[in-house]
């Protein structure tokens, strides 16, 4: 397992670009890289789409022998169909995929792999990791564990919390594992854990349900910043004042602004940059310019974002 800071992943992307530039003259055969990603159903995936399309434009403009095809899908079923369409009409030299869900996409990706296609998986891992040649993701266990450690310390190891999780994927399971493993060693009671599908509106409705069901809540963890915004709005409308902290994750710029301002309810976040898709596309493309294929697992660290370091994670021009 190769561990990277956010800066190191950026440098890895730059290194891949330099490899492409240096090897462009020796790689004239037409190569096709399919990029299959979820549609922009929430802010983070909106950032993924943005960075994938940027990579497509940049690589194709610089290297006419490389064709990058970006396909977005609004559901796991649609993504399975998209993979079938992509592989049926052409030979894919590589597939870069951010699976909508892990279980439903593992079999279809394995089928693509059987044709000799190089497989790069981003973020939401497959249930069978042996299928992937390259894996780029954040450290989701650390996202959950680091948030839980901070929350437990601030609550003095006592209290009642509710949790909102995303969609059924490996990364969601890992975030919940990291969070709950830390909380097991405290006297903090997790009142409820339910899915809100990384969706602001669904998180708003779920938080309303939590507020109606539980008369006292000390803190909330929504394991994604889109859901956090829904949580904060529900708490605001309820008028409840006992909730000390509402935390998310992923480093959305709106939330980073709260951290920078010293918001008392949301004073920290954790990074999980959607630009990791761009890095994976560049790392995949570099092999078609005479470089050895990138293989193995690359994980981003998940340090707490605090008022002291928030500027390092704040990108005002980003869509997320």
Please count the other Cβ atoms lying within 10 Å of the Cβ belonging to residue 156.
10
Lowest mean pLDDT among 68-82, 159-173, 216-230: 159-173
Helix (H, G, I), strand (E, B) or coil at 96: strand
Looking at the predicted structure, is the pLDDT value of residue 13 above 90?
no
Query: Do 86 and 148 belong together in one domain?
Result: no
- Per the domain annotation, does 311 fall within a domain? no
pLDDT of residue 245: 98
Task: State the average pLDDT over residues 284-313.
Answer: 88
Q: Is residue 307 part of a domain?
A: no
In the prediction, which pLDDT does 314 show? 86
**Whether pLDDT at 102 is above 50:** yes
More confident site: 32 or 20: 32
- For residues 164 and 316, the model is more confident at 164
**How far apart (Å, rounded) are the C-alpha atoms in residues 53 and 35?**
10
Flag whether pLDDT at 19 surpasses 60: no
Tell me, yes or no, whether 80 and 129 share the same domain.
yes
Whether residues 162 and 222 share a domain: the answer is yes
Residue 27 has pLDDT above 50, yes or no: no
State the total domains in the chain: 2
Average pLDDT estimate for 146-154 = 98
Same domain as 95, residue 59:
yes
Residue 11: the pLDDT is: 47
Domain encompassing residue 16: 2-138+273-302
Shared-domain flag, residues 101 and 30: yes
Return d(Cα 36, Cα 58) in angstroms, integer.
18
Q: Can you tell me the distance from the alpha carbon of 31 to that of 193, in angstroms, rounded to the nearest whole number?
A: 45
Residues 223 and 209 in one domain: yes
With a CB cutoff of 8 Å and minimum separation 6, the contacts of 41 are 74, 198, 199
Residues 101 and 145 in one domain: no
For the chain, what percentages of helix, strand and coil (3-state, to nearest 5) are there?
50, 20, 30
pLDDT at residue 62 greater than cutoff 90: no
Judged on CB neighbours under 10 Å (0-12, 13-18, 19+), 24 is middle
Asked whether the predicted pLDDT for residue 66 surpasses 90, the reply is yes
Residue 71 has pLDDT above 80, yes or no: yes
- Buried-state track 235-274, b at ≥16 Cβ within 10 A, e below 16: beeeeeeebbbbbbbbbbbebbebbbeeeebbbbbbbbbb
Determine the pLDDT at residue 25: 42
The answer to whether the CB of 77 falls within 8 A of the CB of 38 is no
Give a yes or no: residue 93 inside a domain: yes
- Residue 265 domain-assigned (yes or no): no
Quick: pLDDT tens for 230-288: 999 999 999 999 999 999 998 899 999 999 999 999 999 998 888 899 989 999 998 88
C-alpha span between 272 and 226 (Å, rounded): 13
The band of 59, judged by pLDDT with boundaries at 50, 70 and 90, is: very high
Give domain status of residue 109, yes or no.
yes
State the burial class of residue 115 (Cβ atoms within 10 Å of its Cβ: 0-12, 13-18, 19+): exposed
CATH number at 226 reads 3.40.50.2300
In this prediction, residue 211 carries a pLDDT of 98
pLDDT at 293 over 70: yes
CB-neighbour burial class of residue 158 (10 A; exposed 0-12, middle 13-18, buried 19+):
exposed
% of the chain exceeding 90 in pLDDT: 69
When the pLDDT of each residue in the chain is averaged and rounded to a whole number, the result is 90
Are residues 202 and 107 part of one domain?
Answer: no
Task: Name the band, by pLDDT with cuts 50, 70 and 90, for residue 168.
Answer: confident
Q: Which two tokens stand for residue 28?
A: 């004239």
Percentage of the chain surpassing pLDDT 70?
91
Among the candidates 260, 281, 315, a domain finishes at 260
């Amino acid at each position: 397992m190769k561990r990277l800071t956010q800066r190191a992943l950026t440098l890895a992307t730059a290194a891949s670009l330099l490899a492409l530039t240096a090897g462009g003259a020796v790689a004239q055969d037409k190569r096709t890289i399919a990029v299959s990603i979820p549609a922009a159903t929430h802010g983070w995936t909106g950032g993924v789409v943005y960075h994938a399309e940027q990579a497509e434009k940049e690589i194709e403009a610089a290297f006419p022998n490389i064709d990058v095809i970006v396909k977005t899908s609004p559901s796991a079923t649609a993504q399975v169909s998209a993979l079938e369409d992509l592989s049926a009409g052409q030979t894919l030299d590589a597939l870069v995929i951010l699976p909508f869900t892990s279980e439903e996409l593992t079999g279809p990706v394995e089928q693509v792999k059987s044709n000799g296609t190089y497989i790069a998986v981003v973020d939401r891992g497959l249930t069978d990791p042996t299928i992937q040649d390259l894996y780029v993701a954040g450290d989701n266990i650390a996202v959950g564990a680091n948030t839980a450690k901070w929350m437990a310390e601030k609550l003095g190891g006592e209290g009642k919390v509710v949790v909102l999780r995303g969609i059924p994927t490996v990364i969601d399971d890992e975030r919940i594992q990291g969070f709950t493993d830390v909380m097991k060693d405290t006297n903090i009671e997790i009142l409820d854990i339910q899915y809100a599908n990384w969706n602001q509106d669904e998180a708003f409705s779920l938080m309303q349900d939590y507020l109606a069901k539980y008369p006292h809540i000390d803190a909330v963890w929504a394991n994604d910043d889109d859901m956090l915004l829904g949580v904060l709005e529900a708490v605001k409308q309820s008028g409840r004042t006992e909730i000390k902290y509402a935390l998310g994750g992923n480093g959305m710029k709106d939330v980073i602004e709260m951290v920078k301002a010293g918001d008392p309810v949301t004073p920290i976040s954790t990074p999980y940059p959607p630009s990791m898709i761009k890095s994976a596309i560049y790392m995949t493309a570099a092999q078609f310019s005479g470089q050895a294929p990138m293989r193995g697992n690359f994980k981003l660290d998940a340090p707490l974002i605090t008022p002291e370091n928030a500027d390092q994670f704040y990108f005002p021009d980003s869509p997320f």
